[in-house]
A and B are shown apart, each in its own frame.
Chain A
Amino acid sequence: MAQAQEYAHIGKPRPKVDAMNKSMGITKFTDDIELPRMAFGKLLRSTQAHAKIKNIDVSEAEKLPGVYKVITGHILPIQFGIMPTAEDEHAMATKKVRYVGDPVAAVAAVDEETAEAACELIKVEYEPIDPIFSIEKAVTTSMDAEHRIHEDFGFGGNIHKIVAMEFGDVDGAFEQADFIDEGVYFFEGNTHLPMEQHSAIAHYDGTGKLTMWSATQTPHYVHRALSKVLELPPNKVRIIAPPTGGGFGGKDDPFSHEIAACKLSMLIGRPVKFTLTREEVFYTHRGRHPVLMWCKTGWKNDGTLMGMHFKSFLDGGAHGSYGPASTYYTGALQTVTCKVPAYKFEGVRAFTNKPPCGPKRGHGTPQPRFAVEIVFDKVAERLGIDPIDLRTKNMIDSHSLTVNWLQITTCGLQECLDKVGEASDFKNKHNKLPHGKGVGVAVGSYICGAGLPIYWNDLPHSEVQLQVDRMGTVTAFSGAIDIGQGSDTVLATIVAEVLGLDPSEIQLVTADTDLTPIDLGSYSSRVTMMMGNAAKESAENMRELMLAGVAEHLKVPAERLEMKGGHVWDTENPSEKMTFRKAAELAETHKGLLGSVGSYRPPRKKGSYKGSGVGPSPAYSYSACVAQVDVDPETAEIKVEKIWMAHDIGECINETLVLGQVEGSVYMGLGEALMEEYPYRDKLGTHKIPSMLDYKSPTTKDMPPVETILVKGHEARGPFGAKEVGQGPLLPIMPAIANAVYDAVGVRIDELPITAEKILAAMEQKEKDGPGRIGPDKIPDIEFPPAIKVEPPDEWKGKLSSLE
Chain B
Amino acid sequence: MDTEKTLLTLHVNGERHELLVPVHKTLLEVLREDMGLTGTKHGCEVGECGTCTVLVDGLPILSCLSLPIENQDQEITTIEGVAQGSEPHPLQSAFTQLGAAQCGYCTPGMILTAKALLDENADPDRETIEEALSGNLCRCTGYLKIFEAVEMAAEQSK
Query: A interface vs B, CB < 8 Å?
Result: 15-16, 18-29, 31-32, 34, 64-66, 110-111, 113-114, 117, 192-197, 243-246, 248, 277-278, 483-486, 656-657, 659-660, 663-668, 691-693, 697, 699-701, 703, 705-706
Contacts and interface: CB of A to CB of B under 8 A. Distances in A.
Contacts of A192: 139
B108 interface: yes
B130 interface: yes
Given A196-B43, A668-B139, 9 more contacts: A31-B42, A195-B43, A278-B48, A659-B145, A660-B145, A700-B129, A700-B130, A701-B130, A703-B143
- Find the residue from A117, A195, A666, A701 having the highest chain B CB count within 10 A: A195
A700 B39 contact: no
12 contacts: A22-B101, A25-B80, A27-B104, A32-B32, A195-B137, A243-B104, A246-B103, A248-B139, A663-B142, A700-B133, A701-B134, A706-B144
- Find the residue from A66, A277, A663 having the highest chain B CB count within 10 A: A663
- Find the residue from B3, B39, B46, B134 having the highest chain A CB count within 10 A: B39
Contact of B79 (A18, A24, A667): A24
A700 B134 contact: yes
B144 A663 contact: yes
A668 B102 CA distance: 14
Interface string B77-103: 011101100001001110111110111
A195 B1 contact: no
A195 B106 contact: yes
Interface in B107-158: 107-108, 111, 129-131, 133-147
B142 A706 contact: yes
- Find the residue from B44, B92, B139, B145 having the highest chain A CB count within 10 A: B139
Interface residues of B, number: 60
Contacts of B137: 195, 692, 697, 699
Contacts of A486: 102
Contact of B105 (A65, A246, A692): A246
Contact of A65 (B1, B36, B108, B140): B1
B107 A22 contact: yes
A703 B107 contact: no
A693 B82 contact: no
B13 to A, nearest CB: 11
A193 B80 CA distance: 26
B51 interface: yes
B54 to A, nearest CB: 11
Nearest to B131: A701
Name the 10 nearest CB pairs between A and B, nearest first: A25-B39, A22-B104, A484-B103, A245-B105, A667-B142, A25-B79, A32-B38, A663-B142, A484-B102, A19-B96
Given A22-B104, A660-B141, A693 B48 contact: yes
B49 interface: yes
Contacts of A243: 103-104
A667 B96 contact: no
A431 to B, nearest CB: 29
A195 B105 contact: yes
A387 B93 CA distance: 44
Nearest to A708: B144
A25 B109 CA distance: 10
Contacts of A15: 96-97, 99
Contacts of B97: 15
Nearest to A665: B142
Contact of A699 (B36, B95, B129, B134): B134
Contacts of B131: 700-701
Contacts of A65: 1-2
Contact of B39 (A26, A34, A668): A26
B interface: dominant SS: loop
Nearest to A244: B103
- Find the residue from B44, B46, B102, B106 having the highest chain A CB count within 10 A: B102
Contacts of B32: 32
Contacts of A485: 102
B103 to A, nearest CB: 3
B92 A24 contact: yes
A705 B78 CA distance: 31
A284 to B, nearest CB: 15
Contacts of A693: 48
Contacts of A113: 1, 3
Given A23-B88, A24-B79, A196 B105 contact: yes
A192 B46 CA distance: 19
A541 B96 CA distance: 32
Interface string B12-49: 00000000000000000000110011111111111011
A764 B130 CA distance: 34
A530 B137 CA distance: 31
A668 B140 CA distance: 8
Contacts of A23: 88, 91-93, 95-96, 101, 104, 107-108, 111
Given A195-B49, A656-B99, A246 B79 contact: no
Contacts of B96: 15-16, 19-20, 23
Contact of A25 (B1, B91, B108, B133): B108
Contacts of A64: 1
A659 B99 contact: yes
Nearest to A194: B139
Contacts of A692: 43-44, 48-49, 137
Given A25-B40, A32-B38, A657-B99, A246 B139 contact: yes
A660 B148 CA distance: 12
Contacts of B129: 700
Contacts of B98: 656
Contact of A111 (B1, B95, B103, B135): B1
B137 to A, nearest CB: 7
Contacts of B106: 195
Contacts of B79: 24-25
Contacts of B103: 22, 194-196, 243-246, 483-484
Contact of B88 (A20, A656, A668): A20
Contacts of A110: 1
Contacts of B99: 15-16, 19, 656-657, 659-660
- Find the residue from A20, A194, A243 having the highest chain B CB count within 10 A: A20
Contacts of A691: 44, 46, 48
Contact of A703 (B3, B139, B142): B142
A666 B135 CA distance: 20
B33 to A, nearest CB: 8
Contacts of B139: 192-195, 246, 248, 664, 668, 697
Contacts of B45: 277-278
Given A15-B99, A20-B88, A692-B49, A703 B39 contact: no
Contact of A19 (B33, B42, B51, B101): B101
Contacts of B91: 23
A168 B43 CA distance: 50
Given A65-B1, A484-B140, A29 B105 contact: yes
B113 to A, nearest CB: 10
Contacts of B37: 25
A668 B48 CA distance: 18
B43 A197 contact: yes
Nearest to A65: B1
B102 A664 contact: yes
B104 A18 contact: yes
A211 to B, nearest CB: 19
A182 B96 CA distance: 49
B1 A117 contact: yes
- Find the residue from A25, A66, A486, A666 having the highest chain B CB count within 10 A: A25
Nearest to A28: B38
A483 B139 CA distance: 12
Contacts of A663: 141-142, 144-145
Contacts of A484: 102-105, 140
Nearest to B86: A24
A697 to B, nearest CB: 7
A66 B48 CA distance: 31
